Structure 1
Amino acid sequence: MALNVMSADSHMDLIYLPPDTFTSRMASTWRERVPHVVEREGRKMWVSGDAVLGPWGFYGPGVTGGRRGRILADAGFASGKQTRPSNPVERREDQDRDGVQAEVIYGIIGISRGLFTHSGIADHETLAAVYRAYNDYIADFNGTQPGRFFGLGCLPNHHARAAADELRHCAELGLRGAVFVPWGSALPVWHEMWEPMWSTAEETGLVVSFHVFEGGAATVGYAVQGVQNAASSGAWTVVAPLQMDEICASVILSGVCERHPKLTLVLGESGIGWLPYMLERLDDTYEERLADDLGLKLPPSAYFKRQMYATFQKDFHGVRAMAEIAPDNVMWGSDYPHRDGTWPFSQKAIEEQFRGVDPAIQRKMLWENARRLYRIA
């Protein structure tokens, strides 16, 4: 019998949202700052004031290239008309085709920078209002397919009180968690200013997730104006999941997990193969150099095992290592509808990744861990 499968990392990009997502949910007083779709040089684009946020309805050649890109292009994701991810019926059809029974859906995490445009929403109040509108939208979307879609909210990162207020709103909407973008935030995640956010997350029971992409350029150099370099952009793609190492270490060593023992955190699309080394190094560094200064009650790895989770798409060796070290803290995700994912061949990818792995471990990573974390019956 086929295993139940839940994707703990899927997406609802700005590209695919209905054009009236924000205009129908934000007050007219926001005027041109409300994200809306206009035609620019024959293409439809999302704009907010003077900022061009990204395309509507299509990915460009740089995203749809390569073997994976051709698969998505053949499915219509480069057509300029493709909105399957935001159509509840069509999205469910895509998941049925992929053998996925439910999804945790990450939202518009790139809107503060702009999607491929580097021209995002910079004004804090506007961004907070846009996130509020999106959170209302995704709550409605979740309700179209009960038990199938579990879209996460988005949190403002300019102040802890704003993030805490939006977390409460997400809880009122019935969302199971929300995404916080630490890169470009007012202060680093280890700073005490964020205490109201952590306290509210713990109080409401909502999961706080981080996700790759917003970390910016790789140190090898991702972009040079006017120059396209596949090796450089490819290097960024390869190392992007490793952006999560600093987040993992910061929240543990700063005592966030110790002060908030019921708080749960997710490293979204982080991969897992690097985690065994990271956990070992955390413990060793703490014991040898930091214990006197930090005074944590538990080894750092114990906080990870108690409160943190990581998602992956394809990570053959990571599956086996984490099966031994922390099998309850790992969740598979398809990354639908992104090029870095496994849709529409997730069943093949799962079979390859889990070949020879204890079925009990498979059930944990493919289904049980995500459902326990997000309190899904």
Structure 2
Amino acid sequence: METFPQIVSVDDHTVEPAHVWQDRLPARYREAGPRVVRAPIEEMTFTGGRFAPRMGTPGGDGPLADWWVYEDLRRPLTRLDTAVGCDRDEIRLEGITYDQMRPGSFRVPDRLADMDTGHVRSALCFPTFPRFCGQTFTEARDRELALLCVRAYNDWMVEEWCGPQAGGRLIPLTLIPLWDAGLAAAEVRRNAARGVRAVCFSEIPPHLGLPSVHTGAWDPFLAACAETGTVIAMHIGSSSKMPSTSADAPPAVGSTLTFANCCFSLVDWLMSGVLDRFPALRIMYAEGQIGWIPYVLERADTVWRENRGWAGVAGKVRRPPSELFADHVYGCFFDDAFGLRNLDAIGVGNVLYETDYPHSDSTWPRSREIAEAQMGHLAPDVVERVVRGNAVDLLGLTPDGLWAG
């Protein structure tokens, strides 16, 4: 393709700099708030979908990593957090320091330079230390401090990561205090007032001990999102439970099945009645890929049509699930040739593109080459919509793909 559109990536990641919370929390909370300590790794495993690191004594022997320390949590930076630039066969589950990662992972000027290399115009970035929807703060004991941490992250995201030096090329994605729907609604409105149009949420809240979307518990939050045009963004793993088959399954099993939580979550939303009650609501599934969507919609329509009398959705879900999907839901992908061959069955207007920088799955720096190879059969106007146009419309960007604040 002679002129391939510049990418608007709806799923990249930021590795938060060490100063985020130390600079923004009230002085009395800084010692208790998230901070970085350099220390050795005693042990680190990832089996059955469970990540289990153990921190050694600072100054002790062993391979060093930079660790986030917060309440009882000890969470190291790992090579999987920022793998771009490394040979695929050399990527291991190992702890690293900031000095060992690509600077574009946490520094805005370096990120913009890497975006230029990857043919990326602008990017929406999910968090790392807070986890994909702020589970870290949801699990904390001190809820007053946790709320301050959520707000501090959002202020850093809007004012620094997506601030003037980013030139509109980094698009803010904020967190909510998941433990209180009223506080969550207030945080959505606070950030919407400064131009934010996307917020993180859990794909399967009950896995976090929270109410499901089948209850009315989330209504204040959902109403705030609908009223402000804030997109609900759900990343794989945002339920803190990656798909797996057994406690001893290698990470390859979960990596292959990452789309499964999105599949379960989508059916939850389609059968919840929420999308009928909040017609302006929009949701997106980051890193879930899209090839699985047509059959799920086909099956959901069959169940709704044939079984709704006994299946608990009569009178609640008023339209076929596939129609609800078309009006409310966006699937996101970075490498899904099968999905692109079946794009008509998904909907040209319901897919968004991503590069997953700086994770090990990322297509960077070959995002353009991979997209061109997989989209060669599509008309130029369709490619334009998939690569950037749908995201521009959904996130309220300028025609040039920038966040205007």
What is the TM-score normalised by the length of structure 1?
0.87
Equivalent in the alignment of 1:228: none
SS for the counterpart of 2:120 is: coil
**Counterpart pick for 2:183 among 134, 143, 162:** 162
User: What are the residue-to-residue correspondences of 1:308-323 with 2, within 5 Å?
Assistant: 308-323=329-344
CA contact (8 A) 2:6 2:121 kept: yes
Partner of 2:72: 50
Distance 1:355 1:161, change over 3 A: same
Q: What RMSD, in angstroms, separates the aligned Cα atoms of the two structures?
A: 2.8
Whether the 8 Å contact between 1:268 and 1:311 is mirrored in structure 2 is yes
Q: Name the structure 1 match of 2:300.
A: 282
Q: Distance in 1 between matches of 2:179 and 2:210?
A: 5
- Bigger shift: 170-179 or 131-140? 170-179
Q: Distance in 1 between matches of 2:351 and 2:73?
A: 38
From the superposition, tell whether residues 274 and 261 of structure 1 become closer, same or farther in structure 2 (CA, over 3 Å). same
Counterpart pick for 1:263 among 281, 290, 293: 281
For residues 322 and 54 of structure 1, the distance between their equivalents in structure 2, rounded to whole angstroms, comes to 39
Superposed counterparts of 1:128-147, under 5 Å: 128-140=147-159, 141-143=161-163, 144-147=165-168
Q: Deviations over 1:257-287 (max 9, x none)?
A: 1111111111111110000011111111111
- Of 309, 325, 332 in structure 2, the residue corresponding to residue 304 of structure 1 is 325
Determine which of 114, 117, 130 is the counterpart of 1:97: 117
1:126 pairs with one of 141, 145, 166? 145
> Bigger shift: 177-186 or 61-70?
61-70
Structure 1 residues 60, 97: CA separation in 2 closer, same or farther (over 3 Å shift)? closer
Contact 1:17 1:83 in 2 (8 A): no
Which contiguous aligned blocks of 4+ residues in structure 1 show a shift greater than 6 angstroms? 60-66
Secondary structure of residue in 1 paired with 2:115: helix
The CA deviation string for residues 99-127 of structure 1, in whole angstroms up to 9 with x for no partner, is 1111111224527666xxxx974554433
* Structure 1 partner of 2:27: 28
> Given residue 17 of structure 1, which amino acid in structure 2 is its aligned partner?
E
Amino acid at match of 2:299: R
Change (3 A) 1:61 1:28: closer
Q: Which amino acid is the alignment partner of residue 154 of structure 1?
A: L
Amino acid at match of 1:376: L
Does structure 1 residue 249 correspond to structure 2 residue 267?
Answer: yes
Is the 2:243–2:261 Cα contact (8 Å) retained in structure 1?
no
Question: How far did 1:326 drift?
Answer: 0.8
Q: Are the aligned partners of 1:309 and 1:330 in contact in 2 as well (CA < 8 Å)?
A: yes
Counterpart code for 2:166: Q
- Structure 2: 5+ residue runs without aligned partners? 41-63, 399-405
Deviation at 1:288?
A: 0.9
How far residue 185 of structure 1 moved from its aligned partner, in angstroms, is 4.6
Q: Residues 70, 346 of structure 1: CA spacing in aligned structure 2 closer, same or farther, 3 A cutoff?
A: farther
Q: Contact 2:85 / 2:102 at 8 angstroms: preserved in 1?
A: no
Match of 1:234 in 2: 252
CA change 1:66–1:101 in 2 (3 A) is closer
Shift in Å, 1:46:
1.0
Whether the aligned pair in 1 keeps the contact of 2:352 and 2:386 (CA below 8 Å) is yes
Q: Secondary structure at the match of 2:24?
A: coil
Q: Which one is further off, 122-131 or 138-147?
A: 122-131
Match of 2:106 among 86, 97, 114: 86
Matched, 1:172 2:171: no
Identity among equivalent positions (%) equals 27
Q: 1:218 aligns with which of 228, 233, 243?
A: 243
Distance 1:68 1:120 in 2: 33
Structure 1 residues 267 and 365: CA distance shift in structure 2, 3 A:
same
Task: For 1:126, give the aligned amino acid.
Answer: L
Q: Residue 170 of structure 1 contacts residue 178 of structure 1 at CA under 8 Å; is this kept in 2?
A: no
- Secondary structure of 1:104's match? strand
User: Which residue in the other structure is 2:371 paired with?
Assistant: 350
Distance of 2:254 and 2:141 partners within structure 1: 24
Partner of 1:203: 227
Q: 1:95 to 1:69 in 2, by over 3 A?
A: farther
User: Partner letter of residue 220 of structure 2?
Assistant: P
Contact 1:51–1:121 at 8 Å: present in 2 too?
Answer: no
Structure 1 residues 241 and 128 mapped into 2: Cα distance closer, same or farther (>3 Å)? farther
Q: Residue 8 of structure 1 contacts residue 104 of structure 1 at CA under 8 Å; is this kept in 2? A: yes
Q: TM-score, normalised by structure 2?
A: 0.81
Give the C-alpha shift of residue 251 in structure 1: 1.5
User: Aligned in 2, Cα 1:122/1:245: closer, same or farther, shift over 3 Å?
Assistant: farther
Give the secondary structure class of the aligned counterpart of 1:22. Answer: helix
Q: Mark the runs of 5 or more structure 1 residues left unpaired by the alignment.
A: 225-230
Quote the Cα distance in structure 1 between the aligned partners of 2:105 and 2:121. 15
In structure 2, what is the equivalent of residue 153 of structure 1? Answer: 174
Number of aligned residue pairs: give it.
359
Residue 159 of structure 1: CA displacement?
Answer: 2.1
Q: Structure 1 residues 154 and 185, CA, compared in 2 at 3 Å: closer, same or farther?
A: farther
Contact 1:135 1:154 survives alignment (8 Å): yes
- DSSP-derived class of the 2:23 partner: coil
Write 1 or 2 for the structure with the bigger share of helix. 1
Letter in 1 for 2:66: K
- The one-letter amino acid of 2:19's match is D
